[in-house]
Structure 1
Amino acid sequence: MKRGKLTKYVVMLVVAIALLIAANLTLDSYQLRIINLCGIYVILALSMNLINGFTGLFSLGHAGFMAVGAYTVGLLTMSPTTKQMNFYMKPIVPWLAEVELGFLPALIIAGIMTAIVALLIGAPVLKLTDDYLAIATLGFSEIIRILLTNMQSVSNGALGLKGIPNRATTPWTWGIAIITIIVMTLLINSSYGKAFKAIREDDIAARSMGINIFSHKLLSFVIGAFFAGVGGGLMGSQLGTISPDFFKFTYTFNILLIVVLGGMGSIKGNVVSAIVITVAMEVLRFLDGPLNLGFTVLPALPGLRMVVFSLILMLVVLFRKDSKISKNIMLAVKKHVKTK
């Protein structure tokens, strides 16, 4: 890396850290919560961007990866007393009942567990392409959610987990977000990153150049899942309460919205998009309540906020008709609707 570019990155890092310190000292708890969510969504967006944007895969399994990470961190950081209070319908398995780890080891284990799940899923499904891969990964995400719903003695079933320690403070969320940005930048500028982009552009040409297509796809999938698991762990800690219903397809759709609007294969764009959309989601929260139009008052329409963001994604897809990812999104959504 050239000295000028390195200096630029160091200055940007120092400015970012200074802004985060100032925010941590001046903002209230609600505003800091939004700042933390911005950092978490940066991690999730970059992890999906590695898979979908840089490697050209069309995966819709991020919600499942997040669920694995969130439950892993929750079960490893909760105290034995809190676990006993949660698992009143059916006792927790003995090997988890007395386990209580620090936040950092729990996050690392969550990432590793999610990467292992991605490895098991990726081995069979990454031989598929385009919308077939999207449907397969979406199906596996739903399988993970159903397993969490039915594994009463491990995940507490549909009741979920309550009382997860809130360790996802600003230094944690944005510290890991900055590490994710650095890792992704170094990875994309390495020989592996060039191979990922070659596969995205033309996998036949990449194979003729000696690139092992399957192993590189699997590597991208596993690394992306690792960071998705870490992001899910941070999200679970931030919320304090999780359940299987929280990790439905809608969550993957939200992250895909950030990635598409930020630009497929753009690290800077995804960072900016994650921050803007997360803040906008909070600013537009009034759409879920009664709307006073002056001459009339519309009743509360829960979910209207997400409808607005869905429309935004549809408009982006319509304006980018020529892009491969837009076609894949439309095909996947049509198939998903048919299966319903």
Structure 2
Amino acid sequence: MKRKKYNIIFSVILIILLFVILYFAKLYLDDYKSRILNLCAIYTILGLSLNLINGFTGLFSLGHAGFMAIGAYTTALLTMPIPIKEQNFFMAPLISPLDKIVWPFLPSLILGGILAAFVAFLIGAPVLRLKGDYLAIATLGFSEIIRVIFTNTQRLTNGALGLKGIPNTTNLFWSFGIAVITLIVMILLINSSYGRAFKAIREDEIAAENMGINLFKHKILAFTIGAFFAGIGGGLLGNLIGAIDPLMFRFFLTYNILLIIVLGGMGSITGTVISAFIITISMEALRFLDESINLGFFTIRGIPGLRMVVFSVLLMMVILFFRNGLMGNKEITLDILANKLSKKPLTKGGVKR
């Protein structure tokens, strides 16, 4: 009980320290570096949400981009000022009452997550009875259906033209604040009876069912919660970039998130957080490979896409040496850190000093 109290106090101190660092980052970092940090936090949210489905519950879902699209469009449409809506929907007017509604950012974000979760619930009812590759194909198909619907609903999403002039509300405090909330929710959920049920389903569905675990109930719960946070992440991303269109939410976006959880470790919260920062920063750090490099005595012509080739090779090397990702299914907890710090070095006789 005493240790639990100390863990809570230490966690609160870490959160306060994080926001102090973010305050100084906002003051001294330029827009480019701030955007990269925002993307790190958003991909942390998205990685944690997909890891709940794929890593902890053992489902193979590839529909995350569709849920992100729902959250992004919902948040954008509700937060855009009326004059901006009129400028976007010049070919066909926006449907009523969305054309006259302007909501604050937080309620819009939450509603985007709720709508994504609702669609996931409707999709999950028939789809989650499938397993393995069949489930992956079905969720990928539904994600593409959502994207195609958004492309062809001119009066709701502005079709292929997308939305521009979205308020740039997302900042370091919004993205990291929601990332911290997502992290806390995931830790509490995984350490609860529901989390133990998710892991049991992942390890052996037949054994879990024989122990009295309702497979369908827990699968759809994990799927819905993951979709809710995917919608939140999509809303943050849309209001960070300031413009969205259906082509943004293709399978490639789901692939990037899947890459994060595979590299970090399927079923590891710590690994997902670390991997989200590594992949997001590395993608930007290697951008110079796509451009011409002047070495003085000769110039190396840039090859578009070379950055992704080098990045893929580096990832393959990591996967070869770390088959289960950087962390596997392990976690870095406050208790582990405290035990590491409290260990005293041994003397020559093997006795603690």
DSSP-derived class of the 1:195 partner: helix
User: Which of 119, 122, 125 is the equivalent residue of 1:120?
Assistant: 122
Match of 1:308 in 2: 310
CA gap of 1:68–1:311, structure 2 versus 1, over 3 A, is farther
Match of 1:46 in 2: 48
C-alpha root-mean-square deviation of aligned residues, in Å? 1.9
CA gap of 1:4–1:138, structure 2 versus 1, over 3 A, is same
Counterparts of residues 145-164 of structure 1 (less than 5 Å): 145-164=147-166
Conserved? CA contact 2:266–2:324, under 8 Å = no
CA gap of 1:214–1:317, structure 2 versus 1, over 3 A, is farther
Letter in 2 for 1:63: A
Match of 1:75 in 2: 77
Counterparts of residues 178-197 of structure 1 (less than 5 Å): 178-197=180-199
Deviation of 1:317 after TM superposition, in Å, equals 5.0
User: Which of 172, 176, 179 is the equivalent residue of 2:178?
Assistant: 176
Deviation of 1:313 after TM superposition, in Å, equals 4.4
Letter in 2 for 1:304: L
Letter in 2 for 1:51: I
CA shift digits 1:162-191 (9 cap, x unpaired): 000000011111110100000001000111
Structure 1 distance, partners of 2:55, 2:207, is 18
Conserved? CA contact 2:19–2:173, under 8 Å = no
Deviation of 1:281 after TM superposition, in Å, equals 1.4
Structure with more of its chain in helix, by fraction: 1
DSSP-derived class of the 1:89 partner: coil
DSSP-derived class of the 2:15 partner: helix
Structure 2 distance, partners of 1:136, 1:199, is 20
Structure 1 distance, partners of 2:28, 2:149, is 43
CA gap of 1:259–1:322, structure 2 versus 1, over 3 A, is closer
Conserved? CA contact 2:152–2:160, under 8 Å = yes
Match of 1:227 in 2: 229
Deviation of 1:245 after TM superposition, in Å, equals 0.6
CA shift digits 1:124-170 (9 cap, x unpaired): 11111111111111111111111111111111111000000000011
Structure 1 distance, partners of 2:256, 2:295, is 28
Letter in 2 for 1:35: L
Match of 1:328 in 2: none
Match of 2:351 in 1: none
Letter in 2 for 1:183: V
TM-score, normalised on structure 2?
A: 0.87
Match of 2:64 in 1: 62
Conserved? CA contact 2:265–2:324, under 8 Å = no
Match of 1:245 in 2: 247
Structure 1 distance, partners of 2:225, 2:158, is 28
CA shift digits 1:201-249 (9 cap, x unpaired): 1111110110000110000000000000000000000000111011111
Letter in 2 for 1:29: D
CA gap of 1:45–1:29, structure 2 versus 1, over 3 A, is same
User: Which of 216, 220, 230 is the equivalent residue of 1:218?
Assistant: 220
291-300 or 246-255: bigger deviation: 291-300
Match of 1:209 in 2: 211
Matched, 1:6 2:11: no
Q: Which structure 2 segments of 5+ residues have no match?
A: 326-353
CA gap of 1:131–1:284, structure 2 versus 1, over 3 A, is same
Deviation of 1:107 after TM superposition, in Å, equals 0.2
Structure 2 distance, partners of 1:238, 1:60, is 24
CA shift digits 1:240-289 (9 cap, x unpaired): 01110111111111111111111111111111111121111111111222
CA gap of 1:307–1:152, structure 2 versus 1, over 3 A, is farther
Structure 1 distance, partners of 2:81, 2:65, is 26
Q: Which structure 1 segments of 5+ residues have no match?
A: 324-340
Structure 2 distance, partners of 1:116, 1:294, is 58
DSSP-derived class of the 1:94 partner: coil
Deviation of 1:318 after TM superposition, in Å, equals 4.9
Conserved? CA contact 2:160–2:245, under 8 Å = yes
User: Which of 139, 142, 149 is the equivalent residue of 2:141?
Assistant: 139
196-205 or 306-315: bigger deviation: 306-315
Match of 1:30 in 2: 32
Structure 1 distance, partners of 2:159, 2:243, is 13
Structure 1 distance, partners of 2:90, 2:25, is 40
TM-score, normalised on structure 1?
A: 0.90
CA gap of 1:201–1:88, structure 2 versus 1, over 3 A, is same
Letter in 1 for 2:139: T
Conserved? CA contact 2:50–2:226, under 8 Å = yes
CA shift digits 1:39-68 (9 cap, x unpaired): 111101100111111111111111111111
Deviation of 1:295 after TM superposition, in Å, equals 6.3
Structure 2 distance, partners of 1:321, 1:178, is 28
Deviation of 1:113 after TM superposition, in Å, equals 0.5
Structure 1 distance, partners of 2:324, 2:79, is 47
Structure 2 distance, partners of 1:147, 1:224, is 22
Deviation of 1:33 after TM superposition, in Å, equals 1.2
Letter in 2 for 1:143: I
Structure 2 distance, partners of 1:134, 1:84, is 39
**What is the total number of aligned residue pairs between the two structures?**
324
Pick the structure with greater CA Rg: 2
Deviation of 1:3 after TM superposition, in Å, equals 2.6
DSSP-derived class of the 2:97 partner: helix
Deviation of 1:30 after TM superposition, in Å, equals 1.6
Match of 2:275 in 1: 273
